[in-house]
Amino acid sequence: MNGDMIGRVIKGRYKLIDERGRGSFATVYVARDLENNHIYAVKVMHLELSNDGELLARFQREAHILLNLSDSHIVRIMDYGNDNNMHYIVMDYIDGQSLKYYMINDGPMDPLRSLNYTHQIAEGLSTANKQGVVHRDIKPQNILINSNDMVKITDFGLARSRETVTLTQSNVFMGTAYYISPEQAESGRSADTRSDLYSVATVLFEMLTGHPPFRGETAVDIVIKHMNEKVPSICRLRPGLPMEMDLFMQKALAKAPADRYPTPQEFMVALEQLQERIQAMPPIPRVERPGGNEQKPGNTGPQKPSVPPQKDACIIVLSSGQTIPLKGELMVVGRQDPTLGIFPEINLADKTVGRRHAYLRNQQGTYTVEDLNALNKTRLNGVILTPHEERSLKDGDVLRFGSVEVRFEYR
Q: Which residues are catalytic?
A: 137
Burial class (CB in 10 A: 0-12, 13-18, 19+), 35: exposed
Q: What do you get for the CA distance between the two ends of the chain, in Å?
A: 41
**Paired sense of beta strands 346-347 and 330-334, if any:** parallel
Distance from chain centroid for Cα 381: 24
Total residues belonging to the chain: 411
**CA-based nearest residue to 177, from 138, 230, 220:** 220
Residue 157 CB partners (closer than 8 Å, separation 6+): 26, 58, 59, 61, 62, 137
Measured CA to CA, the distance from residue 396 to residue 102 in angstroms comes to 30
**Any idea of the CA torsion for 367, 372, 374, 377, to the nearest 10 degrees?**
40
Q: Facing residues of 399 across strands? A: 380, 406
Q: In Å, how far are 176, 200, 227 from 222, measured between CA atoms? A: 10, 17, 9
Distance from chain centroid for Cα 169: 23
Measured CA to CA, the distance from residue 182 to residue 51 in angstroms comes to 33
**Crossing angle of the two packed helices 264-279 and 243-252, in degrees rounded to 10:** 170
**Paired sense of beta strands 383-384 and 391-392, if any:** unpaired
